[in-house]
Amino acid sequence: MNKTFWIILFVLGLLAPFAVYPVLMMELLCFALFACAFNLLLGYSGLLSFGHAAFFGSAAYITGFVMTQWNFGPFSGIVAGTLFAGALGLVFGLLAIRRQGIYFAMITLALEQIVFFLSLKLPFTGGEDGLQGIPRGMLFGFIDLNQPLNMYYTVFAIFVACFWLIHRTVHSPFGQVLRAIRENEPRAISLGYNVERIKLLAFVLSATLAGTAGATKSIVFQTASLTDVSWHTSGSVILMTLLGGMGTLLGPIVGAFTVVGLEHELSGIGSWVTVIIGMIFIVCVLAFRRGIVGEIGRLWKRSF
């Protein structure tokens, strides 16, 4: 059953650009990946980071920078952005995981604000104009990413690869330990696990994957802007994860599709977008706290 389900999703993903506008689909996938990376931290390790936009946005800027200034190709551009986000994750992680709960959230938020102000003030970022005109270029020298379908399947491949990595991580012994820490940290310590190191590893992994999402997005939209590093983006990825169902593999994807899809579809009616998303969030928190996927999963288990 499970396998068939994933195969259906995969096929739908392959066919999606013919039914849905490809650029929208790419945006959905980038944010879905971002939310999945975030969920690895929140859903499986129980760490609420309020600064994930720092990794998402800085990777976008770095990818844009190396591609415009140093003429990197798209592949090495994304790798550069991803590695930078990973390194940044290591630094932030070392500082932040020493604290828990609200203090952890506040430290990550503070660090994210530093990244925001650096992005505003560093000479190469273009200030509030953002980094513009990032070339899509040729992937591996022969795939022209200016063709929408080529670009889409590249994004899709990146998404599938990262999602597979997350899937593997969650179901590995390492993932089990993460869950053990989430459920009962003192007990995990007493069992002999080096909790801080495991948390740090999860943090870095999550930051790296968030970086991949940001780097890919900067190539899709050919721009990196302050929005990508602002705390609004950190907030909306939390919203996506909670709405879809944290701690489920599919949840963040559903959440990202819901939030970004609504933002897109409702863009014609103006200020109601934020109101509607807010209402959905309230309903979600009050009525089904496990999120869309979490709740469906529970009903499924109950009835079969």
Q: With H, G, I as helix, E, B as strand and everything else as coil, classify residue 138.
A: strand
Q: How far is CA 43 from CA 39, 71, 183, 263, 265, in A?
A: 5, 38, 11, 24, 28
Q: With H, G, I as helix, E, B as strand and everything else as coil, classify residue 132.
A: strand
Please, what is the minimum distance in Å from the beta carbon of residue 124 to another protein? 11
Nearer to another protein, 86 or 130 (CB): 130
Please, what is the minimum distance in Å from the beta carbon of residue 242 to another protein? 20
Nearer to another protein, 35 or 178 (CB): 35
The CA-CA-CA angle for residues 188, 191, 193, to 5°, reads 65
Contacts of 196 (CB under 8 A, 6+ apart): 97, 98
Nearer to another protein, 54 or 204 (CB): 54
Contacts of 235 (CB under 8 A, 6+ apart): 50
Please, what is the minimum distance in Å from the beta carbon of residue 15 to another protein? 4
Residues within the interface to another protein (CB under 8 A) = 1, 4, 7-8, 11-12, 15-16, 18-21, 23-24, 27, 117, 120-121, 126-130, 132-133, 217, 221-223, 225-228, 263-264, 267-274
* Contacts of range 187-194, beta carbons closer than 8 Å, 24 or more positions apart: none
Please, what is the minimum distance in Å from the beta carbon of residue 219 to another protein? 12
Please, what is the minimum distance in Å from the beta carbon of residue 220 to another protein? 8
Dihedral sign of CA atoms 139, 143, 147, 153 in order: negative
Cα–Cα dist 293/270, whole Å: 28
Q: With H, G, I as helix, E, B as strand and everything else as coil, classify residue 224.
A: strand
Nearer to another protein, 131 or 170 (CB): 131
Nearer to another protein, 126 or 247 (CB): 126
Nearer to another protein, 199 or 217 (CB): 217
Please, what is the minimum distance in Å from the beta carbon of residue 97 to another protein? 29
